[in-house]
């Protein structure tokens, strides 16, 4: 079968809450915005526009938070980190919000 797409139609309540919390931090939302803007996967904490504002540790922490929420996938790529936006998860979240 085609391995192309995970449907991920529905989020559990726990996932939903995690995403809400992840998005509730302005810096994190901004990061996600930047990530989603970079087409095939944005690269590296250090290259993120926010850098300079916060320490690498903080950035790393936020990134992990986004990952835990499932909004992002972090892929080690040699020395750097590839950050992949999980649009299906995000869309599922927005869709659920829109239901209300």
Which of 3, 4, 6, 24 is in the footprint of DNA by CB under 7 A? 24
Q: Which is nearer to DNA, 21 or 95 (CB)?
A: 21
Q: Answer yes or no: are the C-beta atoms of 29 and 37 closer than 8 Å.
A: no
Distance between CA atoms of residues 42 and 82, nearest Å: 6
Name the DSSP class of 95.
H
Taking CB under 8 A as the criterion, which residues in 80-99 touch a copy of itself? 90, 93-94, 97-98
Residue 21 CB partners (closer than 8 Å, separation 6+): 69
Tokens representing 46 are 């250090």
Which of 43, 68, 73, 96 is in the footprint of DNA by CB under 7 A? 43
The CB-of-85 to DNA minimum distance in angstroms stands at 15
The residues of the shown chain that bind DNA, judged by CB under 7 A, are: 21, 24-25, 27-28, 43-47, 53-65, 74, 76, 78-81
């Amino acid at each position: 079968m085609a391995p192309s797409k995970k449907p991920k139609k529905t989020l559990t309540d726990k996932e939903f809450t995690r995403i809400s919390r992840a998005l509730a931090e302005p810096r994190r939302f901004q990061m996600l915005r930047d990530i989603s803007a970079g087409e095939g996967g944005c690269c590296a904490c250090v290259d993120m526009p926010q850098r300079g504002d916060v320490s690498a540790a903080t950035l790393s922490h936020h990134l992990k938070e986004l990952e835990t929420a499932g909004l992002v996938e972090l892929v080690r790529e040699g020395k750097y980190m590839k950050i992949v936006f999980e649009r299906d998860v995000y869309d599922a979240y927005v869709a659920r919000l829109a239901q209300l």
